Amino acid sequence: MNTTALALLELGAVFFALGMLGRVAGRVGMSPIPLYLLGGLAFGSGGFIDLAEADEFGHVAGEIGVVLLLLLLGLEYTAAELVTGLRRSWPAGLVDIVVNSIPGVVVALLLGWGLLGALTMGGVTYISSSGIVAKVLNDLGRLGNRETPVVLSILVFEDLAMAVYLPILTTLLAGLSFISGLRALGVALATITLVLVVALRYGRYVSAIVDSSDNEVFLLKLLGAALLVAGAASALNISAVVGAFLLGIAISGSTAHQAAKLLEPLRDLFAAIFFVAFGLSTDPRAIPPVLGWAVLLTVVTTVTKVATGWWAAQRQGIRRMGRARAGAALVAHGEFSIVIAGLAVTTGAVAGELAALVSAYVLLMAVLGPIAARVVEPLVGFVKREPGPAVTP
């Protein structure tokens, strides 16, 4: 069989399998991310079948998936919302960074992965999944709840923190000097500031450049702009995903809504390939040795995320049930954790076991997050229930 035919067969099988896995996830009311990762693990290096011909396409498509994920995330925010969210949530955001990154840092150091491994794992355990959290809040009808702005403001802070963290991580993984690292950080901060200023004052002009009444033209200009900005950001060691996120912020108004509508199907397709590609690059035989650490991190960071949301909601005067819902909503981890691990593993600067640990950890957290959000109300209600009066015989 020729190479082209084999590649088409493999890609067809992958796409069809992704569709079936997504359908299963929808039926049971969970995020499809864990199933996509499992699919990649089953058919990658060390799995049942090695899809060698589809691997190159999967790598490129996965990179596009990451760009689209962050572009769509940026389209959800306006620059004004980001600034307001930052002002409102910075104390909770700082607490979130400290208490949720420490577990990943400690485990990486205990496993002997060095400072780079510690920095990587700190980011993995810190960042919640904005996509999963938003979907769960929408599915459960909690978007209008009083604690929801607290949750969203923490997610906004996390996304902005990633815009600073990823350039630093990228620079260190590339083995650049301390001075180069400071220069990269300075460029990143200057770029973020410039984009926010442009978005606040001139966002309509950015939107006008990519806008079009023809959906085909609009999609081509939007996707082309996203890839150009991501490529330029990567060349400056800022990180391609940060560039895509900042472009999304700069597009506003009706253009942003139309862009999100057009890009969502593409985002879902390429993002699914991204998760599968990460699974394909991870040897499932490497997971059992680190599974215990993944379970430990799952338990610890579930507690720390719930505590973060509880404390942040308490500062806003929200009652106990709302505090518990806020904490449970932050538990889910997903796309960003995989993005961080992917950056580290592809450079070869960290231990290969890190990918296996992150795969297991994200599998657990992506499943546990929606479950925690669903069961928190009956659980808190059961705990708060007072015993009835004693019955005298």
Domains located in the chain, CATH noted: 56-380 (1.20.1530.20)
Do residues 341 and 66 lie in contact, with contact meaning Cβ atoms separated by under 8 Å? no
Q: What is the pLDDT of residue 149?
A: 83
Q: Compare 155 and 331 and report the one with higher pLDDT.
A: 331
Q: How far is CA 298 from CA 136, 156, 294, in A?
A: 19, 23, 6
Q: What is the pLDDT of residue 51?
A: 64
| Of the candidate ranges 111-120, 244-253, 322-331, the one whose mean pLDDT is the lowest | 244-253
Q: Say how far apart CA 347 and CA 333 lie, in whole Å.
A: 23
Please state the rounded mean pLDDT for residues 333-338.
83
pLDDT > 90 fraction of the chain, expressed in percent and rounded: 20
pLDDT > 70 fraction of the chain, expressed in percent and rounded: 89
Q: Compare 99 and 234 and report the one with higher pLDDT.
A: 99
User: Is residue 46 pLDDT above 60, yes or no?
Assistant: no
| Of the candidate ranges 221-230, 331-340, 342-351, the one whose mean pLDDT is the lowest | 342-351
Question: Tell me, what amino acid is at 40?
Answer: G
**pLDDT tens, position by position, 254-267:** 888 888 888 888 88
Q: What is the pLDDT of residue 171?
A: 78
Q: What is the pLDDT of residue 50?
A: 63
At 335, the pLDDT band (50, 70, 90 cuts) reads confident
Q: What is the pLDDT of residue 385?
A: 63
Q: Report residue 250: phi and psi, to 5°.
A: -70, -20
What are the b/e assignments for 326-355, b being 16+ CB within 10 Å? bbbbbbbbbbbbbbbbbbbbeeebbbebbb
How is residue 51 annotated by DSSP? -
Q: What is the pLDDT of residue 230?
A: 83
Please state the rounded mean pLDDT for residues 260-287.
82
Q: Report residue 48: phi and psi, to 5°.
A: -70, -40
Most confident of 179-183, 212-216, 270-274, 297-301: 297-301
At 391, the pLDDT band (50, 70, 90 cuts) reads very low
Chain length of the chain: 393
3-state helix, strand, coil in the chain (%, to 5): 80, 0, 20
Q: Say how far apart CA 150 and CA 146 lie, in whole Å.
A: 8
Q: Say how far apart CA 157 and CA 160 lie, in whole Å.
A: 5
Task: Work out the mean pLDDT of the chain and round it to a whole number.
Answer: 82
**pLDDT tens, position by position, 70-80:** 788 778 777 67
How is residue 272 annotated by DSSP? H
User: Is residue 389 pLDDT above 50, yes or no?
Assistant: no
